[in-house]
Amino acid sequence: MRRLHLSLLPLLAVALLLGEVPARAESPPPPVVPVHASLKDLRPWLRHEDWTVRSIAAYELRRRTAPGVVYLAARLLVNEQHPYVAACALGALRGRPRRDLVMEGGTDLADAVVRFSRHEHPTVQTYAREILCVIPPVKLGDNVALYEGWWKRGRKALEREQRQMLAEAAKAKQAAPETPKGSSSVQTTPGKKDEHFYERLELMRKHGLELCIVLDHTGSMGPYIGAAKRQAVWLLRKLRAYIPQFRAGLVTYDDAARLRIALTQDAEALEKAFRKVGAGGGGDYEEGVDKGIRLALKQGRMAWSQRAYRVIVVVGDAPPHEGDVPRLLRTIQKAREDILYDRPVVVHTVSTSTMPVLHFPQIALAGGGQHVALSHAGALVQELVLLTFGGADRERIKEWMGVIDTLRKAEQKKPKRK
Protein backbone atom coordinates (compact mmCIF):
# COMPACT_ATOMS: atom_id res chain seq x y z
CA MET A 1 0.00 0.00 0.00
CA ARG A 2 2.85 2.40 0.89
CA ARG A 3 4.51 1.71 -2.50
CA LEU A 4 1.23 2.54 -4.26
CA HIS A 5 1.00 5.94 -2.55
CA LEU A 6 4.61 6.75 -3.45
CA SER A 7 4.02 5.80 -7.06
CA LEU A 8 1.15 8.30 -7.29
CA LEU A 9 3.28 11.29 -6.20
CA PRO A 10 4.84 11.94 -9.65
CA LEU A 11 1.41 11.80 -11.26
CA LEU A 12 0.02 14.32 -8.78
CA ALA A 13 2.95 16.65 -9.41
CA VAL A 14 2.34 16.52 -13.16
CA ALA A 15 -1.37 17.12 -12.65
CA LEU A 16 -0.65 20.20 -10.53
CA LEU A 17 1.72 21.56 -13.20
CA LEU A 18 -0.95 21.06 -15.86
CA GLY A 19 -3.55 22.72 -13.66
CA GLU A 20 -5.75 19.63 -13.46
CA VAL A 21 -5.80 19.63 -9.62
CA PRO A 22 -7.12 22.99 -8.35
CA ALA A 23 -5.04 24.65 -5.66
CA ARG A 24 -6.75 25.88 -2.45
CA ALA A 25 -8.34 29.30 -3.08
CA GLU A 26 -7.00 32.12 -0.93
CA SER A 27 -9.57 34.23 0.94
CA PRO A 28 -9.96 37.71 -0.56
CA PRO A 29 -8.48 40.65 1.34
CA PRO A 30 -10.89 42.62 3.55
CA PRO A 31 -12.73 45.40 1.71
CA VAL A 32 -11.15 48.85 1.90
CA VAL A 33 -13.56 51.56 3.07
CA PRO A 34 -12.61 55.14 2.19
CA VAL A 35 -12.57 57.56 5.16
CA HIS A 36 -12.92 61.30 4.56
CA ALA A 37 -9.90 63.41 5.52
CA SER A 38 -12.03 65.51 7.89
CA LEU A 39 -12.33 62.47 10.22
CA LYS A 40 -8.58 62.08 10.58
CA ASP A 41 -8.56 64.15 13.79
CA LEU A 42 -10.90 61.67 15.55
CA ARG A 43 -9.12 58.41 14.72
CA PRO A 44 -6.46 58.46 17.48
CA TRP A 45 -9.01 59.43 20.13
CA LEU A 46 -11.35 56.60 19.14
CA ARG A 47 -8.44 54.23 19.90
CA HIS A 48 -7.45 55.96 23.14
CA GLU A 49 -6.86 53.83 26.25
CA ASP A 50 -9.12 56.01 28.41
CA TRP A 51 -12.88 55.34 28.18
CA THR A 52 -13.73 59.01 28.77
CA VAL A 53 -11.76 60.14 25.73
CA ARG A 54 -13.13 57.29 23.57
CA SER A 55 -16.71 57.99 24.58
CA ILE A 56 -16.53 61.72 23.75
CA ALA A 57 -14.89 60.92 20.41
CA ALA A 58 -17.60 58.33 19.72
CA TYR A 59 -20.30 60.82 20.70
CA GLU A 60 -18.69 63.31 18.32
CA LEU A 61 -19.33 60.91 15.42
CA ARG A 62 -23.06 61.61 15.55
CA ARG A 63 -22.30 65.22 14.54
CA ARG A 64 -20.34 64.10 11.47
CA THR A 65 -21.77 63.32 8.03
CA ALA A 66 -18.59 62.60 6.06
CA PRO A 67 -17.97 59.18 4.44
CA GLY A 68 -16.29 56.87 6.92
CA VAL A 69 -18.30 57.70 10.06
CA VAL A 70 -19.98 54.26 10.12
CA TYR A 71 -16.67 52.55 9.41
CA LEU A 72 -14.94 54.27 12.36
CA ALA A 73 -17.84 53.47 14.70
CA ALA A 74 -17.83 49.83 13.57
CA ARG A 75 -14.06 49.50 14.09
CA LEU A 76 -14.42 50.93 17.58
CA LEU A 77 -17.20 48.49 18.44
CA VAL A 78 -15.25 45.40 17.35
CA ASN A 79 -13.24 45.16 20.59
CA GLU A 80 -15.06 47.67 22.83
CA GLN A 81 -15.85 46.53 26.37
CA HIS A 82 -16.97 49.73 28.13
CA PRO A 83 -20.77 50.11 27.96
CA TYR A 84 -20.75 53.94 27.83
CA VAL A 85 -18.35 53.98 24.89
CA ALA A 86 -20.41 51.32 23.12
CA ALA A 87 -23.61 53.30 23.72
CA CYS A 88 -22.06 56.48 22.30
CA ALA A 89 -20.77 54.64 19.21
CA LEU A 90 -24.07 52.83 18.65
CA GLY A 91 -25.92 56.11 19.20
CA ALA A 92 -23.92 57.64 16.35
CA LEU A 93 -25.23 54.88 14.04
CA ARG A 94 -28.92 55.20 14.90
CA GLY A 95 -30.98 56.43 11.97
CA ARG A 96 -28.24 55.84 9.39
CA PRO A 97 -29.53 54.24 6.15
CA ARG A 98 -28.96 50.54 5.52
CA ARG A 99 -26.67 51.30 2.58
CA ASP A 100 -24.23 53.17 4.86
CA LEU A 101 -24.38 50.49 7.56
CA VAL A 102 -23.65 47.68 5.08
CA MET A 103 -21.19 49.50 2.81
CA GLU A 104 -19.02 50.95 5.60
CA GLY A 105 -19.78 48.67 8.54
CA GLY A 106 -20.07 45.31 6.81
CA THR A 107 -19.37 42.15 8.77
CA ASP A 108 -17.53 44.01 11.55
CA LEU A 109 -20.61 46.02 12.38
CA ALA A 110 -22.94 43.02 12.09
CA ASP A 111 -20.71 41.01 14.44
CA ALA A 112 -20.71 43.87 16.95
CA VAL A 113 -24.45 44.59 16.98
CA VAL A 114 -25.28 40.89 17.25
CA ARG A 115 -22.98 40.71 20.29
CA PHE A 116 -24.30 43.92 21.87
CA SER A 117 -27.93 42.91 21.27
CA ARG A 118 -27.54 40.64 24.32
CA HIS A 119 -25.63 43.21 26.42
CA GLU A 120 -26.62 43.63 30.07
CA HIS A 121 -26.79 47.44 29.83
CA PRO A 122 -30.36 48.22 28.69
CA THR A 123 -29.44 51.23 26.52
CA VAL A 124 -26.62 49.40 24.76
CA GLN A 125 -28.95 46.48 24.10
CA THR A 126 -31.75 48.73 22.78
CA TYR A 127 -29.46 50.66 20.42
CA ALA A 128 -27.81 47.47 19.13
CA ARG A 129 -31.16 45.81 18.40
CA GLU A 130 -32.43 48.93 16.65
CA ILE A 131 -29.42 48.89 14.31
CA LEU A 132 -29.49 45.11 13.91
CA CYS A 133 -33.06 45.31 12.55
CA VAL A 134 -31.81 47.40 9.61
CA ILE A 135 -28.86 45.29 8.43
CA PRO A 136 -30.46 42.08 7.01
CA PRO A 137 -31.89 42.37 3.47
CA VAL A 138 -35.29 41.23 4.80
CA LYS A 139 -37.32 42.21 7.87
CA LEU A 140 -37.13 39.64 10.66
CA GLY A 141 -39.34 41.26 13.30
CA ASP A 142 -38.28 41.81 16.92
CA ASN A 143 -36.96 38.35 17.79
CA VAL A 144 -33.19 38.59 18.32
CA ALA A 145 -32.79 34.82 17.89
CA LEU A 146 -33.96 35.16 14.26
CA TYR A 147 -31.23 37.73 13.59
CA GLU A 148 -28.63 35.49 15.23
CA GLY A 149 -29.77 32.61 13.04
CA TRP A 150 -29.60 34.81 9.94
CA TRP A 151 -26.10 35.92 10.82
CA LYS A 152 -24.79 32.37 11.11
CA ARG A 153 -25.76 31.81 7.48
CA GLY A 154 -25.53 35.31 6.01
CA ARG A 155 -21.95 36.43 6.60
CA LYS A 156 -20.68 35.63 3.09
CA ALA A 157 -23.70 37.22 1.44
CA LEU A 158 -23.27 40.44 3.46
CA GLU A 159 -19.57 40.57 2.61
CA ARG A 160 -20.37 40.21 -1.11
CA GLU A 161 -23.01 42.93 -0.86
CA GLN A 162 -20.54 45.24 0.86
CA ARG A 163 -17.93 44.72 -1.87
CA GLN A 164 -20.49 45.36 -4.57
CA MET A 165 -21.66 48.59 -2.90
CA LEU A 166 -18.09 49.83 -2.50
CA ALA A 167 -17.33 49.06 -6.16
CA GLU A 168 -20.45 50.93 -7.28
CA ALA A 169 -19.61 53.91 -5.04
CA ALA A 170 -16.06 54.02 -6.46
CA LYS A 171 -17.41 54.01 -10.06
CA ALA A 172 -19.91 56.75 -9.22
CA LYS A 173 -17.15 58.86 -7.69
CA GLN A 174 -15.01 58.48 -10.82
CA ALA A 175 -17.92 59.46 -13.04
CA ALA A 176 -18.92 62.46 -10.89
CA PRO A 177 -17.58 65.91 -11.82
CA GLU A 178 -14.65 67.13 -9.75
CA THR A 179 -15.45 69.35 -6.77
CA PRO A 180 -13.87 72.78 -7.28
CA LYS A 181 -10.82 73.43 -5.14
CA GLY A 182 -11.64 75.13 -1.87
CA SER A 183 -15.22 73.83 -1.74
CA SER A 184 -16.72 70.73 -0.17
CA SER A 185 -19.97 68.85 -0.65
CA VAL A 186 -19.71 67.27 2.81
CA GLN A 187 -20.62 69.04 6.04
CA THR A 188 -17.87 68.49 8.58
CA THR A 189 -16.68 69.90 11.86
CA PRO A 190 -13.28 71.66 11.83
CA GLY A 191 -10.59 69.35 13.12
CA LYS A 192 -8.09 71.72 14.73
CA LYS A 193 -10.41 72.73 17.58
CA ASP A 194 -11.39 69.09 18.20
CA GLU A 195 -7.79 67.95 18.37
CA HIS A 196 -6.98 70.63 20.94
CA PHE A 197 -10.03 69.62 22.97
CA TYR A 198 -9.08 65.93 23.09
CA GLU A 199 -5.46 66.71 23.94
CA ARG A 200 -6.63 68.86 26.84
CA LEU A 201 -8.97 66.15 28.08
CA GLU A 202 -6.22 63.54 27.87
CA LEU A 203 -3.87 65.72 29.94
CA MET A 204 -6.58 66.45 32.51
CA ARG A 205 -7.12 62.73 33.01
CA LYS A 206 -3.39 62.18 33.29
CA HIS A 207 -2.27 65.13 35.44
CA GLY A 208 -5.42 66.35 37.19
CA LEU A 209 -7.86 69.25 37.24
CA GLU A 210 -8.10 71.87 39.99
CA LEU A 211 -10.81 74.49 40.61
CA CYS A 212 -10.94 77.45 42.93
CA ILE A 213 -14.36 79.11 43.23
CA VAL A 214 -14.08 82.81 44.04
CA LEU A 215 -17.52 83.74 45.38
CA ASP A 216 -19.03 87.11 46.27
CA HIS A 217 -20.68 86.57 49.68
CA THR A 218 -22.53 89.87 50.02
CA GLY A 219 -26.25 89.99 50.85
CA SER A 220 -27.57 90.06 47.28
CA MET A 221 -25.83 86.74 46.54
CA GLY A 222 -28.00 84.77 48.99
CA PRO A 223 -29.81 82.51 46.44
CA TYR A 224 -26.55 81.60 44.67
CA ILE A 225 -24.71 80.86 47.90
CA GLY A 226 -27.65 78.66 48.91
CA ALA A 227 -27.47 76.76 45.63
CA ALA A 228 -23.71 76.25 46.03
CA LYS A 229 -24.18 74.99 49.59
CA ARG A 230 -26.80 72.47 48.53
CA GLN A 231 -24.72 71.05 45.68
CA ALA A 232 -21.09 71.40 46.80
CA VAL A 233 -20.65 67.67 47.27
CA TRP A 234 -22.38 66.94 43.96
CA LEU A 235 -19.98 69.36 42.24
CA LEU A 236 -16.87 67.61 43.52
CA ARG A 237 -18.17 64.08 42.97
CA LYS A 238 -19.48 64.93 39.51
CA LEU A 239 -16.11 66.14 38.28
CA ARG A 240 -14.20 63.36 40.02
CA ALA A 241 -16.32 60.84 38.11
CA TYR A 242 -14.60 62.07 34.95
CA ILE A 243 -11.28 63.37 36.34
CA PRO A 244 -10.22 61.20 39.30
CA GLN A 245 -7.49 63.68 40.28
CA PHE A 246 -9.92 66.58 40.71
CA ARG A 247 -9.58 69.05 43.61
CA ALA A 248 -11.67 72.08 44.54
CA GLY A 249 -11.19 75.05 46.87
CA LEU A 250 -13.20 78.11 47.93
CA VAL A 251 -12.43 81.80 48.38
CA THR A 252 -15.11 84.35 49.29
CA TYR A 253 -14.99 88.14 49.14
CA ASP A 254 -16.79 91.39 49.80
CA ASP A 255 -14.42 94.34 50.09
CA ALA A 256 -11.87 91.88 51.54
CA ALA A 257 -11.08 88.25 50.66
CA ARG A 258 -11.14 85.11 52.81
CA LEU A 259 -9.81 81.61 52.17
CA ARG A 260 -12.51 79.15 53.17
CA ILE A 261 -10.72 75.96 52.12
CA ALA A 262 -7.60 75.17 50.10
CA LEU A 263 -7.74 72.69 47.21
CA THR A 264 -9.06 69.34 48.41
CA GLN A 265 -10.54 66.04 47.26
CA ASP A 266 -12.57 65.76 50.48
CA ALA A 267 -16.22 66.29 49.52
CA GLU A 268 -17.38 66.58 53.14
CA ALA A 269 -14.72 69.20 53.96
CA LEU A 270 -15.75 71.23 50.92
CA GLU A 271 -19.42 71.01 51.91
CA LYS A 272 -18.55 72.12 55.46
CA ALA A 273 -16.66 75.14 54.09
CA PHE A 274 -19.65 76.15 51.95
CA ARG A 275 -22.03 75.74 54.89
CA LYS A 276 -20.07 78.33 56.87
CA VAL A 277 -20.54 80.97 54.16
CA GLY A 278 -23.29 83.45 54.95
CA ALA A 279 -24.63 86.10 52.62
CA GLY A 280 -24.31 89.51 54.25
CA GLY A 281 -22.60 92.88 54.17
CA GLY A 282 -21.96 94.82 51.03
CA GLY A 283 -23.99 98.00 50.71
CA ASP A 284 -21.65 99.73 48.29
CA TYR A 285 -21.85 98.85 44.59
CA GLU A 286 -18.26 97.76 43.91
CA GLU A 287 -16.59 94.81 45.64
CA GLY A 288 -13.08 93.40 46.14
CA VAL A 289 -13.08 91.06 43.13
CA ASP A 290 -9.37 91.70 42.68
CA LYS A 291 -8.61 90.64 46.25
CA GLY A 292 -10.50 87.37 45.80
CA ILE A 293 -8.61 86.51 42.59
CA ARG A 294 -5.23 87.42 44.09
CA LEU A 295 -5.87 85.19 47.10
CA ALA A 296 -6.92 82.33 44.80
CA LEU A 297 -3.68 82.69 42.84
CA LYS A 298 -1.42 82.40 45.90
CA GLN A 299 0.44 79.14 45.76
CA GLY A 300 1.21 79.18 49.47
CA ARG A 301 -2.49 79.37 50.35
CA MET A 302 -4.18 77.26 47.67
CA ALA A 303 -1.44 74.62 47.04
CA TRP A 304 -1.87 74.42 43.25
CA SER A 305 -0.24 71.45 41.50
CA GLN A 306 2.51 72.12 39.00
CA ARG A 307 1.16 69.86 36.23
CA ALA A 308 -2.63 69.98 36.69
CA TYR A 309 -5.06 72.12 34.73
CA ARG A 310 -5.82 75.08 37.01
CA VAL A 311 -9.16 76.89 36.81
CA ILE A 312 -10.55 79.87 38.74
CA VAL A 313 -14.25 80.72 38.43
CA VAL A 314 -15.32 84.11 39.79
CA VAL A 315 -19.02 84.31 40.71
CA GLY A 316 -20.62 87.64 41.58
CA ASP A 317 -23.12 90.38 40.85
CA ALA A 318 -20.96 93.47 41.44
CA PRO A 319 -17.88 94.78 39.60
CA PRO A 320 -14.42 95.39 41.05
CA HIS A 321 -13.46 98.88 42.16
CA GLU A 322 -12.73 100.85 39.00
CA GLY A 323 -9.25 101.87 40.11
CA ASP A 324 -8.27 98.24 40.79
CA VAL A 325 -9.11 96.92 37.31
CA PRO A 326 -5.84 97.73 35.43
CA ARG A 327 -3.69 96.19 38.17
CA LEU A 328 -5.98 93.14 38.36
CA LEU A 329 -5.66 92.48 34.61
CA ARG A 330 -1.87 92.74 34.87
CA THR A 331 -1.93 90.31 37.81
CA ILE A 332 -3.90 87.76 35.79
CA GLN A 333 -1.59 88.12 32.80
CA LYS A 334 1.49 87.66 34.99
CA ALA A 335 -0.06 84.57 36.63
CA ARG A 336 -0.72 83.03 33.22
CA GLU A 337 2.94 83.49 32.30
CA ASP A 338 4.28 81.93 35.52
CA ILE A 339 6.93 79.36 34.54
CA LEU A 340 6.41 77.46 37.81
CA TYR A 341 3.45 75.68 36.21
CA ASP A 342 3.25 73.48 33.11
CA ARG A 343 0.24 75.35 31.69
CA PRO A 344 -1.41 78.73 32.32
CA VAL A 345 -4.22 79.18 34.82
CA VAL A 346 -7.64 79.86 33.27
CA VAL A 347 -10.00 82.45 34.79
CA HIS A 348 -13.74 82.28 34.02
CA THR A 349 -16.35 84.76 35.27
CA VAL A 350 -20.03 84.22 36.05
CA SER A 351 -22.41 87.18 36.31
CA THR A 352 -25.35 86.22 38.51
CA SER A 353 -27.80 88.22 36.42
CA THR A 354 -28.90 88.23 32.81
CA MET A 355 -26.71 91.29 32.16
CA PRO A 356 -22.90 90.99 32.31
CA VAL A 357 -21.34 92.52 35.42
CA LEU A 358 -19.09 95.43 34.49
CA HIS A 359 -15.50 94.24 33.76
CA PHE A 360 -16.36 90.53 34.17
CA PRO A 361 -16.07 89.79 30.41
CA GLN A 362 -12.76 91.70 30.38
CA ILE A 363 -11.43 89.65 33.31
CA ALA A 364 -12.39 86.38 31.56
CA LEU A 365 -10.72 87.53 28.34
CA ALA A 366 -7.51 88.35 30.20
CA GLY A 367 -7.68 84.95 31.92
CA GLY A 368 -8.13 82.96 28.70
CA GLY A 369 -11.59 81.91 29.91
CA GLN A 370 -15.29 82.40 29.26
CA HIS A 371 -17.87 84.79 30.67
CA VAL A 372 -21.37 83.50 31.40
CA ALA A 373 -24.46 85.42 32.54
CA LEU A 374 -26.90 83.34 34.60
CA SER A 375 -30.63 83.92 34.79
CA HIS A 376 -31.32 81.86 37.94
CA ALA A 377 -29.46 80.37 40.91
CA GLY A 378 -30.38 76.78 40.07
CA ALA A 379 -28.04 76.82 37.07
CA LEU A 380 -24.94 77.87 39.03
CA VAL A 381 -23.40 74.54 39.98
CA GLN A 382 -24.03 72.98 36.56
CA GLU A 383 -22.31 76.01 35.01
CA LEU A 384 -19.33 75.59 37.34
CA VAL A 385 -18.97 72.00 36.14
CA LEU A 386 -19.18 72.97 32.46
CA LEU A 387 -16.74 75.87 32.71
CA THR A 388 -14.25 73.86 34.74
CA PHE A 389 -14.34 70.81 32.49
CA GLY A 390 -15.05 72.30 29.10
CA GLY A 391 -14.48 76.03 28.93
CA ALA A 392 -14.92 76.93 25.28
CA ASP A 393 -16.36 73.46 24.62
CA ARG A 394 -19.01 73.77 27.33
CA GLU A 395 -21.97 73.03 25.05
CA ARG A 396 -20.42 69.85 23.72
CA ILE A 397 -19.48 68.78 27.26
CA LYS A 398 -23.02 69.55 28.46
CA GLU A 399 -24.52 67.26 25.80
CA TRP A 400 -22.03 64.46 26.45
CA MET A 401 -22.40 64.63 30.25
CA GLY A 402 -26.16 64.45 29.81
CA VAL A 403 -25.75 61.25 27.79
CA ILE A 404 -23.42 59.68 30.38
CA ASP A 405 -25.77 60.66 33.23
CA THR A 406 -28.67 59.00 31.40
CA LEU A 407 -26.61 55.85 30.83
CA ARG A 408 -25.67 55.70 34.52
CA LYS A 409 -29.29 56.06 35.59
CA ALA A 410 -30.38 53.34 33.17
CA GLU A 411 -27.66 51.06 34.54
CA GLN A 412 -28.86 51.63 38.11
CA LYS A 413 -32.46 50.83 37.16
CA LYS A 414 -31.73 47.55 35.38
CA PRO A 415 -33.20 44.50 37.15
CA LYS A 416 -30.73 42.56 39.25
CA ARG A 417 -29.99 38.96 38.31
CA LYS A 418 -31.27 36.37 40.73
The tens digit of pLDDT for each residue in 23-43 reads 454 567 778 899 999 998 889
- Name the nearest CA neighbour of 188 among 47, 393, 37: 37
Distance CA 26, CA 46 (A): 32
Distance CA 273, CA 277 (A): 7
Average pLDDT on 302-313 reads 95
Distance CA 127, CA 65 (A): 19
How is domain 37-170 classified at the CATH fold level? Leucine-rich Repeat Variant (1.25.10)
Residues 353 and 316: beta-carbon distance below 8 Å: no
pLDDT tens for each residue of 39-95: 988 899 999 988 988 999 999 999 898 999 999 999 999 999 999 999 999 999 999
Residue 344 pLDDT greater than 70, yes or no:
yes
Beta bridge partners of 355: none
Residue 195 pLDDT greater than 70, yes or no:
no
Band of pLDDT at residue 415, cut at 50, 70 and 90:
low
pLDDT mean across residues, the chain: 85
Q: What is the pLDDT of residue 125?
A: 96
Q: Distance from first CA to last CA of the chain, Å, rounded?
A: 63
Q: What is the pLDDT of residue 16?
A: 39
CATH 1.25.10 segments of the chain: 37-170
- Name the nearest CA neighbour of 301 among 212, 207, 208: 212
- Name the nearest CA neighbour of 237 among 267, 210, 263: 267
Nearest 5 degrees, angle CA 266-CA 267-CA 269? Answer: 65
Cβ neighbours for 283, distance < 8 A, ≥ 6 positions apart: none
Domain 198-409 architecture: 3-Layer(aba) Sandwich (3.40)
Range name among 88-97, 267-276, 301-310 with the lowest pLDDT average:
267-276
Average pLDDT on 260-285 reads 84
Crossing angle of helices 69-79 and 51-60, in 10° steps, is 150
Nearest 5 degrees, angle CA 307-CA 308-CA 314? Answer: 135
Distance CA 376, CA 304 (A): 31
Average pLDDT on 257-279 reads 91
DSSP 120-154: SSHHHHHHHHHHHTTSSSS--TT-HHHHHHHHHHH
